[in-house]
Amino acid sequence: MKVRTLKGMSRRFVGLGIVGGCLLVSSLSTVQAGWKLECVGRNPAWSVDVLPKSLQTRVGGKSAILPILAKSQAHGRHNRVAIKTKIRGANRSDRLDLTLTFTKSCRSSVNGKLMSFRAKGQFNQTSLSGCCRAIRQ
């Protein structure tokens, strides 16, 4: 398994594209490709929009826009799909660590839809668990 790590804001966030029905990782930014990742979950109610340089976070009643500080991806041997992606964002008062795993079989507890990624993470000291999907902006 290959792992690529990007730190800081000097590089663009790897964007998403759909080719032949599969979610593929490309070198385009999500702004150019017109895609973003939308993650949602319950207990507590939360959502995160993964954008090229920031994470728009809503957990419980609190909202925050966090710059992406670090991201690493693990790819499978014969495919270009990012099997596991770890993203860290923080500002002065808030911190989010989010791990996205490509499963193609995550059923959202919020809307019941089948989504491509399983999400697990921590926002400050609050555990998060849910699903993510790529949506066109």
The 10s digit of each residue's pLDDT in 49-103 is: 999 899 999 999 899 999 999 999 888 776 666 788 999 999 999 999 999 999 9
Beta bridge partners of 18: 23
Task: Judge whether residue 10 has pLDDT over 50.
Answer: no
* DSSP single-letter state for residue 81: S
**pLDDT value at residue 39:** 94
Per cent of the chain over pLDDT 90 is: 51
**pLDDT value at residue 28:** 33
Task: Judge whether residue 19 has pLDDT over 80.
Answer: no
Beta bridge partners of 56: 49, 65
Q: Which long-range contacts (CB under 8 A, 24 or more apart) does 61-64 make?
A: 62/94, 64/91, 64/93, 64/94, 64/96
Task: Judge whether residue 20 has pLDDT over 50.
Answer: no
pTM: 0.71
Alpha carbon distances (Å) from 53 to 24, 28, 95, 111, 130: 19, 13, 15, 27, 22
- Give the Cα-Cα-Cα angle 72, 74, 78 (nearest 5 degrees): 150
d(CA 12, CA 47): 22
More confident residue, 22 or 135: 135
d(CA 53, CA 7): 11
pLDDT average, residue stretch 21-38: 53
Lowest-confidence pick of 34-38, 43-47, 58-62? 34-38
Alpha carbon distances (Å) from 128 to 9, 37, 59, 88, 98: 25, 16, 9, 14, 8
